Amino acid sequence: MSALSLSCRVCATEHPLEAVGSCSRCFGPLDPVYDWDHVRASLTRERLEERRRDIWRYAELLPVSAPDEPRLAPGFTPLVPAPRLADAVGVRELWLKLDTANPTHSFKDRVVAVAARKAQELGLTTLSCSSTGNLAGAVAARAAAEGMDAAVFVPADLEPEKLAAAAAYGPTIYAVDGHYDHCSRLSVELSFELEWGFVNVNLRSYYAEGSKTLAYELAEQLGWRAPDVVAIPIASGALFHKVGQGFSELRSLGLLDGPAPRQVGGQAEGCAPVATAFRERTTVTPVRPDSIARSLAIGNPADGDFAVATARETGGAIHAVAEDAVGENMALLARTTGVFGETATGVTLGALRAAAEAGEVGRDDRVVLLVTGDGLKTLAPVSFTYAPVHIAADADAFLDRLEAAAA
């Protein structure tokens, strides 16, 4: 394992590699510190060619030891071209990174696999989280695969499709009266009382590192060159920030040819504290979530300011997308690519279109859109597309109808 310690992103105070959620000195976020000489010596393009195609191929860049026999391993998901959507957006080349191909159909399988591995190293037997749906399913599935217990805290009014999907794996689901931030606060409080691995609290430093694997895979799948632009949804801001960190690490290791990409982020207008901070050049101010994009509805995003900084450092942008445009963008993606992404993807596509209209994404750019979750979990926003044509069971009448319509 290459990780040596944890270091505060704000004040640089060092901490041991334990289940600690934030800096003991300033309460800032903690990032793993790596032995970069070891990483450079052992991680090469040639050696990667010989490795299994999942997140554990990048073990030197993760803060845990790779399992000897990975179970339900996520990662190395398909990167597919989307030429018809590229035409609709107005860019030369557009690719879709399909994290719907992960075991529970979202990118959360990446981060949970890393957090769960750390929980095992620390001897913890219960995995837990606060969630808006996708993370609950990923935690429950990972616990089932590893023979651990699972306890998840979700808003009581969460979409039933997501709750049913998570429940199938056998966790204890606690439906909390309130929105996601209430669940999050409860998890933080309980993390001080219970010997559980709360993946997005006391294991967050390890959990967040799993998002970097998206950057590693994109670079490798594109021949060790980054795209010009990556479009990413923003909830807590950790995914957006860590993807940027991943590309930066590849450049420092000499594995990435050319510059890192500009990053375009999206939030729905009903919960857009990060987009607002980017637009108004201020720090992130918490809001009360009221959005159709429940998987992004975090009113007090822990890494929001870091996401803003990443957007500025990469020359990117963060846009708020109208609530009524989320389902429209989900439908646009589906009918031009055959890919059905969830509300977060509708937001991401909306942000990409806004960036293209603003000239922040050029017509000659190569763009990657992250499809982070499956639309089958969030059907309501596209219910307007269901408009069947009722006909009689009569072939002649049907043919007459077609002929009349063509006339």
Q: What is the pLDDT of residue 375?
A: 95
Q: Does residue 137 come out as left (phi exceeding 0), alpha (psi in the -120 to 50 range) or beta?
A: alpha
Closest C-alpha to 235, from 304, 178, 187, 287: 304
pLDDT at 87: 98
74-107 in b/e form (b: 16+ CB < 10 A) is bbbbebeebeebbebbebeebbbbbbbebbbbbb
If we measure between CA atoms, which residue out of 313, 291, 179 comes closest to residue 244?
A: 313
Predicted local confidence at residue 53, as pLDDT: 96
Q: How far apart are alpha carbons 151 and 133 in whole angstroms?
A: 13
Pairwise CA distance, residues 4 & 35, whole Å? 7
Domains of the chain: 79-104+209-385 (3.40.50.1100)
**How far is the C-alpha of 50 from the C-alpha of 29, rounded, in Å?**
35
- End-to-end CA distance of the chain: give it in Å, rounded: 70
Q: What is the pLDDT along the chain (407 residues), one digit of tens a residue?
A: 899 999 999 999 999 999 998 999 999 999 999 999 999 999 999 999 999 999 999 999 999 999 999 999 999 999 999 999 999 999 999 999 999 999 999 999 999 999 999 999 999 999 999 998 899 999 999 999 999 999 999 999 887 777 888 999 999 999 999 988 899 999 999 999 999 999 999 999 999 999 999 999 999 999 999 999 999 999 999 999 999 999 999 999 999 999 999 999 999 999 999 999 999 999 999 999 999 999 999 999 999 999 999 999 999 999 999 999 999 999 999 999 999 999 999 999 999 999 999 999 999 999 999 999 999 988 999 999 999 999 999 999 999 999 999 98
